[in-house]
Each structure stands twice: as C-alpha cells, then as structure tokens.
Amino acid sequence: MALTQHNRSRLTIGLTFLAAFVLSVLPGPQWAEPFRPDWVGLTLIYWCMAVPQRVGVGTGWTVGLILDVLYGSLLGQQALAKTLLAFLTIKLHLQLRMFPRWQQAVSVFVLIALNYLLLIWIKSLVGQTPIKWNYWTSGIVSMLIWPWLFIILRDIRRRAHVS
Amino acid sequence: MMGTSGWSMHAPSMLTRLLVFVALSVALMIADHRGQHLERIRQGLSVLLSPIQYAAALPGELSGWTSGFFGGDRGLRERYERLNAELPLLQARLQKYEALAAENEHLRRLLGSAARVAERAVVAELVEVSREPFTRQITVAKGRQDGLFVGQPVLDAHGIMGQVAEVGVLNSRATLITDPGHAIPVQVNRNGLRAIAFGVGHPDRVEVRHLTSSADIREGDLLISSGIGSTFPFGYPVAEVTKIVNDPNEAFLEVSARPVAQLGHNKEVLLIWPAEPAEPTAAAPRR
C-alpha cells in the first residue's frame, strides 16, 4: 500500500513536469518569446517547497538536463542552474511556506532571476553573449503566473495525496 | 510522518549532493564545449524526448488542420487565385533562368572549369523553434536516415536560413544565420564585394563587419552567398542591407542587414545537397 502511494506521488510529480516541458517548447510567435515564463523552474520551485523530502537537487539536475536537450543548449548549463534553484528553494522552503502569496511571488522572481543570471554567466564564459534586457521579462511573467500555478499545483497535490 | 526525521536525515547530505550535481554539470559543460564526445548521449536523449516535441507541435497542427477544414471554400479559392496569378510570373522567371543556366554552362565550358552538378533538395517540416533567448536554432523533421549531414545549407523560398548543426535519427537541429555564433561569407550582388555576415541574436538582423569606410556598399544592396568556405553554395540571397553607420571614430563601418529568408514564418524549409552528392553518400554508410 505504502509503495503504491509512493509511486503515485512520483507519477503525479512527473506528469506535472511533463506538462511544464511541453509548455516550455510549445511553438509561439517570436515576439512572445521573452514573455514565456520559466514553466519548469516554477514547477520545480513548487515541489521543492511543498515536498522537499521527495523533490530536491537530484530532480533539479535531471529536469535541467532534459531542458538542455530540448533547447539544444550547452549540455549541463540548465542542469547547473536548476540544481542551484532546487537547493535554494529547499533552503528557504520553510520561510516560503509562511509568506503571503504576493511575497512568495516576489521570492519566486528573485529565484528565477538568479537562475537566469547564472545562465548568462555561463553563456558569457563559453563566449556567446549579446546581453539583452528582455531576458528578465521572463522572470516577471513567472512572478505574475506564480499565484495561479501555485493554486493549480496545490490542488493536484491534494487530490493525488502527494506527500 | 516524514516530518522531522526525514528532514534531519537529508539535511547533512544535501550540501554534498549539491556539490556532486554541480560538479557533474560543470563536467558535462566542459565536455560538451570542448569536444563532440557527448553527441551520442544528446542524440539518444533527444530521441527519448521526441514525444514531448511532438506533443508541443500538436496544437499548431490541429489549428492548421481545423482552419483548413472549416476555412474551406473561400480560403481555398483565394489561395487558388493567388497561386494562379503567381504562376505565369514564376514561369517567366524560370524561362530566363534556364537561358541563364545554359549560358552559364557554356561560359564555364569555355573557361575549362567543371560544370556544377545540379543541386538536390528536400523539403523538411519545421518541428520546433529554439526557446532559448540567445540561440537561434530550428529543429526540422529529417534526420540521418534522410542523408542529412552537419553543415548542410538550409533554405526557404526566399534565401538562405542557416546550416544543419546536429543530425539526429529523426530530427535535426539547424543554426540560423541570425544566431550569435554564426557567420556566413557573402558578397554584394551589385559589385562582388566580399564580406562576412555575423548573426547577433536579433531575430531579423545580421551585421556585416570589418568593412572599411571606403567599401562600396549601400543601403538596399543584396548580399548573396559567396561560396567561399564551401559550406554554402554560391549565389543564394542572404540579406538586404538596411542601415550603414559610418562613425569616423571607428575603424570599420557598422552595417546592418535584414535576412531575406523568412526566418520566423516558415513551416517548411529546404535542405540542399550542394555540388556532387559526395557528402551524403559519405555520411550514409553509417546506417
């Protein structure tokens, strides 16, 4: 019984990540690109905050690697960024849970922005960097979407009894 | 139940796990940046992940299908009329092209150089556009089994789009000429002035660098591929010069150009095999 519950939780978390991956590579108009939220980052933050005993740096690394393959970017850069994102979220998860929703959203913005800053550093290290300011718009959109995504994921978590 | 005991069990090991995964990521990045060792792994993973890409492409295809189904008659008729109007124009141009091709071949024979073999082309469907803000890449639904090779030119109906960067089993990734890591040798169609057009990451701008202020280049000039470097065949349109800034403090002109190919609009792209089909047969035996 305990095992099936365990597997069901895993399946639920996996499916939410799968949806996040699809949303991350969904084709859209070019101008809308900078406004695409970091779906995978948001999902990772949620699960790290809600069930840190289950989702952690290992999960972060795996989803980051998958993103690298999907994006065709340098293998390991998203993996590194998402590993650190998971680590920071778990370090802060008790505070994050206590925060009112808007404050949570601001923290999410900071986390996602750090995540992007790291990506920019890596890019400049390997020598491909026209830094554009619209790179940050994604963080802002992520922040605006967070409260709604939070409610959806919380609902999913409660229905599937993920703990 | 997991509460305190689970957390305290994880807490000491988390930092070490973080370090392990960070080290792993850095090692991956170095290996990927330095060499081609990881291409196999990347290809294997991308085959595993191709369902995600297909799922992502589904809504677009569905909307195309439904609009085709319900948009029906009028749309079709309009399209038919437009195509009908275009046809004589293209035919006229083609006649001229055939005459030119014949003349070209004749001249080449006079010069004693080998005539160029007709180029083979394949239409490929665009599956995905890179989501990364810095890179300009596309994924097309053709792979090794179709004989694609790295460095293969990718075109659309208007001009050069880019080149194949990575060949997978089912899908391949191509770098567009606007990618910040891409450069293409070009020449001004008007006078043959050679230059190199660099991508800067902007979706519809490339920069022509290292031209001195005395260079004969004007706004509106068409840049065509020069064939130097033998990645791209000679004579395909690449970009149109949109802006030239001549700053006396700078050593070189600042030339911006807009790619002629519709990089952001295509659903289908053309892959060509330039010159002899030597490369595809050299690549094919791996299968």
Class of domain B120-179+266-276: mainly beta
The two three-digit tokens of residue A48, written as one number: 């790290």
Instruction: Report chain A residues whose CB lies below 8 A from the CB of B140.
Output: none
CA distance B57 to B141: 11
Q: B183-259 has which CATH code? A: 2.40.10.350
**B108 and B115 Cβ atoms separated by less than 8 Å:** yes
Q: Is the pLDDT of residue A43 over 70?
A: yes
Length reported for chain B: 287
Q: Any idea which of A44-48, B136-140, B172-176, B256-260 has the lowest mean pLDDT?
A: B136-140
Closest-CA residue in chain A for B1? A163
Q: Decide: helix, strand or coil at residue B215.
A: coil
**A116 and A136 Cβ atoms separated by less than 8 Å:** yes
DSSP E strand boundaries for A41-104:
none
Q: In terms of pLDDT, which residue wins out, A137 or B286?
A: A137
Does residue A147 sit at the B interface (CB-CB below 8 Å)?
Answer: no
Q: Which residue range forms the structural domain that includes residue A107?
A: 2-159
Q: Is A74 close to B52, i.e. CB distance below 8 A?
A: no
The DSSP output letter for A73 is -
Q: Which residues contact A45 (CB under 8 A, 6 or more apart)?
A: A85, A89, A108, A111, A112
Establish whether domains B120-179+266-276 and B183-259 are of one fold.
yes
Tally the C-alpha atoms within 13 A of residue B93's C-alpha that lie toward its C-beta: 5
Q: Is A84 close to B24, i.e. CB distance below 8 A?
A: no
Does residue A42 sit at the B interface (CB-CB below 8 Å)?
Answer: no
Q: Which residues pair with B173 in a beta bridge?
A: B139, B166
A 83-112 near B (Cβ less than 8 A): 83-84, 87, 90
**B140 and B125 Cβ atoms separated by less than 8 Å:** yes
pLDDT band at B133 (very low <50, low <70, confident <90, very high): low
pLDDT digits (tens, 9 = 90+) for A123-156: 778 766 655 666 678 889 999 999 999 999 999 9
Closest partner CB to A75 (pick from B21, B32, B52): B32
**Burial of B31 from C-beta contacts in 10 A (0-12 / 13-18 / 19+):** middle
pLDDT band at A18 (very low <50, low <70, confident <90, very high): very high
pLDDT band at A30 (very low <50, low <70, confident <90, very high): low
Instruction: Domain ranges for chain B, please list them.
Output: 36-115, 120-179+266-276, 183-259
DSSP E strand boundaries for chain B:
120-129, 137-140, 153-155, 160-167, 172-176, 183-188, 194-199, 206-209, 222-225, 237-245, 254-259, 268-273
Instruction: Report chain B residues whose CB lies below 8 A from the CB of A70.
Output: 46, 49, 52-53, 131
CA distance A149 to A155: 10
Q: Is the pLDDT of residue B66 over 80?
A: no
Of A64, A25, A24, give the one whose Cα is nearest residue A44: A64
Q: In terms of pLDDT, which residue wins out, A71 or A142?
A: A142
CA B121 and chain centroid, separation: 15
Q: Is A36 close to B201, i.e. CB distance below 8 A?
A: no
Domain count, chain A: 1
Q: Is A56 close to B14, i.e. CB distance below 8 A?
A: yes
pLDDT digits (tens, 9 = 90+) for B180-191: 889 999 999 888
The two three-digit tokens of residue A101, written as one number: 């929703």
The DSSP output letter for B198 is E
- First and final CA of chain B: distance in angstroms? 54
Q: What is the pLDDT of residue A14?
A: 93
**B255 and B242 Cβ atoms separated by less than 8 Å:** no
Q: Is the pLDDT of residue B18 over 50?
A: yes
Query: Among A31, A35, A38, A80, which would you mutate to test the B interface (most chain B Cβ atoms within 10 Å of its Cβ)?
Result: A80
pLDDT band at B88 (very low <50, low <70, confident <90, very high): confident
Q: What is the pLDDT of residue B206?
A: 92
Please work out, in degrees rounded to the nearest 5, the angle formed at the alpha carbon of residue A97 by the alpha carbons of A96 and A99.
65
Q: What is the pLDDT of residue B279?
A: 41
What is the average per-residue pLDDT within B91-100? Answer: 81
**Average model confidence (pLDDT) for chain B?**
80
- Count of A–B CB contacts within 8 Å? 131
Q: What is the pLDDT of residue B3?
A: 42
Q: Is the pLDDT of residue B2 over 50?
A: no
Q: Decide: helix, strand or coil at residue B222.
A: strand
Dihedral (Cα; A52, A54, A55, A59), 10-degree rounding: 150
Q: What is the pLDDT of residue A131?
A: 57
Q: Any idea which of A35-39, B95-99, B170-174 has the lowest mean pLDDT?
A: B95-99
Tokens 């007709």 belong to residue: B118
Q: Is the pLDDT of residue B284 over 70?
A: no
ipTM above 0.85, yes or no: no
Q: What is the pLDDT of residue B86?
A: 85
Tokens 């919380």 belong to residue: A154
**CATH number of domain containing A71:** 1.10.1760
pLDDT band at A8 (very low <50, low <70, confident <90, very high): confident
